[in-house]
Structure 1
């Protein structure tokens, strides 16, 4: 099995499309206005096999309730600078005080990349216009079998 699509709950499909394509640089794969109240927009992050779908009439979830989505980057500082340069408000880089995966909210958050720049150990955070929360995670060397 492969994760192929994540559905995001958004308020305004056009605003979301602008954010994901223009601000984040995701590729626009499809924009299907099927009928009034039913529209499918699919975008894909650069280099990803998993796409994001949003639009109208796709989910009963409240806009902004998608939390903890991760985009993997090879250089957390460069990725933060790039997004900030595109007008995205980014928090980070940061790492968790335990040295492991980040905790919920800001618990255990220490500003700055992981001190040894350990793969999987540095993060940054941002939200889309509806408040769907994303993380960047720096991975430079994958664990065996990944």
Structure 2
């Protein structure tokens, strides 16, 4: 039995502002549905990703901006940062964790610059959407065994 991760629901306070933001990122808007009772759902997919995000009105009871640690995998964190900055997105500087493993929560244990020797899984940058939902870009150049 396969269990494929398909979608994450993120809480936003202003659906139209969020739509504008994710379009600015260059993400594909896959769907938008609304009914006469105020329910509204929008789905976006990052380029090259099999998984999407959904946000809207009536799709989650979570507090807008309360999602953190959503990870996007890129093969070049420097180029990804340049792309996001070029799109007008406020992003962190590139960093790695002092442990050399997965990053700590928030900004704890961040070390400026990419991981030594740009080791796969070691370099990051972060940004937030207008509500504060937190995204992390992680550079992966060589996958761990069993990963595709």
Q: Same fold (TM over 0.5)?
A: yes
**Does structure 1 residue 68 correspond to structure 2 residue 47?**
no
Tell me by how many angstroms 1:88 deviates: 0.5
Runs of 4+ in 1 over 3 A off after TM superposition: none
Q: Distance in 2 between matches of 1:126 and 1:37?
A: 30
Q: Distance in 2 between matches of 1:31 and 1:81?
A: 30
Which residue of 3, 22, 25 maps to 2:5? 3
Tell me by how many angstroms 1:14 deviates: 0.6
Instruction: Tell me the SS of whatever aligns to 1:91.
Output: coil
Task: Please give the root-mean-square deviation of Cα atoms over the aligned residues, in Å.
Answer: 0.7
Q: Distance in 1 between matches of 2:82 and 2:10?
A: 25
**Structure 1 unaligned runs (5+)?**
none
Partner of 1:33: 34
Q: Distance in 1 between matches of 2:28 and 2:77?
A: 21
Partner of 1:118: 119
Instruction: Tell me the SS of whatever aligns to 1:19.
Output: helix
Tell me by how many angstroms 1:35 deviates: 2.5
Q: Distance in 2 between matches of 1:72 and 1:37?
A: 34
Contact 1:34 1:40 in 2 (8 A): no
Report the TM-score when normalising by structure 1: 0.97
- Counting matched residue pairs gives 145
| Deviations 1:5-57, CA, capped at 9 Å, x for gaps | 100100001100110112x1110001112234200100100011101000111
Which residue of 21, 29, 39 maps to 2:23? 21
Instruction: Tell me the SS of whatever aligns to 1:60.
Output: coil
Report the TM-score when normalising by structure 2: 0.96
